[in-house]
Amino acid sequence: MTRTLTTTEYAVLGLLAGGEASGYDLARAASRSTGYLWAPSRSQIYKVLPRLVALGYATKRDVAQQGRPDKQLYRITPGGQAGLSSWIQEVEDDPPDGIGVFLLKLLFAWAAPTEAGARQLDAYRALIARRLAEFEELECGLSPDDPVQARIVLRHGIARARATVDWAEEAQRALEPTHSGRSPGPTRR
């Protein structure tokens, strides 16, 4: 159980933390929650689940069905919960799997100590602020001879980065009241 999981494996654990579910249930839950951040195919989820079971992060039970193949239901284990919580608490300045990792961790932060979400949000805001400064510096270096399209695209990056920094500050204020207690997890069914 010491192997580092992939982002997809952690995301499936995050979905399982919401309660026992089949692969089909998890794919539906992903489309309603993580789909705009992380959109696995159903086949990816079905490949990940046995690995999580083999590692001791999840359990599986078969449910007999009338007229259809048996269904497998998966549940996160205490070891899986601990692994998920550790992943959520780990803050990277610039995750190798991309900035969407910050938002996945924030989405599942209810499954970790309350300060974990705020730390992810701080790191995400700091990364975007650094990128904003880089974009603004690039803009200052543009010459009048540069194509207008270069300025247009750069202005898009600047506007998007500023909006994200503003959003992160708003989100940080929204999280402040939850620091007094653990926020509840999702209700799936």
Domain residue ranges of the chain, discontinuous segments joined by +: 7-92, 113-180
Asked if 186 contacts 18 with a C-beta cutoff of 8 angstroms, the reply is yes
User: Model confidence over 139-159: pLDDT tens digits?
Assistant: 999 999 999 999 999 999 999
Distance linking the first and last C-alpha atoms of the chain: 30
pLDDT at 35: 77
- pTM of the shown model: 0.84
Domain 7-92 has CATH 2.60.40.10: no
DSSP 3-state assignment of 64? coil
Mean pLDDT of 70-95: 95
- Left, alpha or beta for 5 (phi > 0: left; psi -120 to 50: alpha)? beta
Q: What residue type is 133 in one-letter code?
A: A
Neighbours of 12 (CB within 10 A): 34
Neighbours of 18 (CB within 10 A): 20
pLDDT at 180: 46
**CA distances (Å), 5 to each of 72, 153, 169, in order?**
22, 36, 30
Predicted confidence (pLDDT) at residue 18 exceeds the cutoff of 60: yes
Q: Give the whole-angstrom CA distance, residue 53 versus residue 10.
A: 13
Beta partners for residue 60, in sequence order: 74
